[in-house]
A and B are shown apart, each in its own frame.
Chain A
Amino acid sequence: AQRVTQPEKLLSVFKGAPVELKCNYSYSGSPELFWYVQYSRQRLQLLLRHISRESIKGFTADLNKGETSFHLKKPFAQEEDSAMYYCAPQSVNAGNNRKLIWGLGTSLAVNP
C-alpha cells in the first residue's frame, strides 16, 4: 500500500535554528510530492511542490528517490513558521485515478 510517514508529531526549535521536517513515502513509479501548511486559524494551503523546485518562505524540499524521502528544510526558523505541516505525495491507483496521500502532519513550534 502507498503510504507516507511523518515521524515527528511535534517539532520544537528556537528561532534562528535550522529545521527539518521529515517525510518518507512508499510509492511505485514517479511520485509528485507536495508540502501543505496550516497556520493558526487559517486554511490549509500549498507550501511547495517538488516539481517546481522553488523555495517558498525560505523552505526547500528535495526529493530523494533512493531514500524515498521528501524532507522539508529551512536554515533559519522564524516564529511565524509555527504551523502544522503536511507532506502529501500523489498516488495513482489501478484505475489511473490520482489522489494525494496525506501524512499525519508535524506541528512545528518555533520558540523565541
Chain B
Amino acid sequence: NAGVMQNPRHLVRRRGQEARLRCSPMKGHSHVYWYRQLPEEGLKFMVYLQKENIIDESGMPKERFSAEFPKEGPSILRIQQVVRGDSAAYFCASSPAGVGEKLFFGSGTQLSVL
C-alpha cells in the first residue's frame, strides 16, 4: 500500500491562475480530509469528503476554493484565481471510516503564488 499520495509536491502559480491539487487516498479509504498550513501557523481544517459527497466544508473559504472526491479517481482541491495569500502547504489525509479513526497523511503540496 503506497500510502496517501499527493501531487504535485510543489506547485508554482502566478496570481490569477488556477491551482489543482490532487490526493489519492490509501487503498480502501473512502474518507478524505484537506488541511492548509500557513507559514508559522498550525494545521487548519478545510474540508471533509466521502466518495461523491462533501460532508463538512466549514473550513473552506467561501469563494475561489472547491473540492471534490469523485467515484473514480483522486480527490481534487481547486483554487481559482490564486492570490499570494493562498501560498501554503496543503495536506491531505485519509481514513477508512469517519473522524475518530486514525488519519493517514500525505506529504503535502507546497503552493507558491508569485
Please report A residues at the B interface, Cβ cutoff 8 Å: 32, 36, 43-46, 49, 86, 90, 93, 95, 97-105
Count how many chain B residues have C-beta atoms less than 8 Å from C-beta atoms of the other chain.
Answer: 25
Please report B residues at the A interface, Cβ cutoff 8 Å: 3-4, 33, 35, 41-45, 48, 55-56, 58-59, 91, 93, 98-100, 102-107
In the bound complex, do residue A100 and residue B102 qualify as a contact, i.e. CB atoms below 8 Å apart? no
Given A93-B58, A97-B55, A98-B98, A43–B45 Cβ distance below 8 Å? no
- Total number of residue pairs linking A and B with CB closer than 8 Å: 51
Q: Which residue of B lies closest to A6 (CB)?
A: B42
Tell me the bound Cα distance from A97 to B93 in angstroms.
17
In the bound complex, do residue B45 and residue A100 qualify as a contact, i.e. CB atoms below 8 Å apart? yes
Residues of B within 8 A of A101 (CB): 45
In the bound complex, do residue B45 and residue A99 qualify as a contact, i.e. CB atoms below 8 Å apart? yes
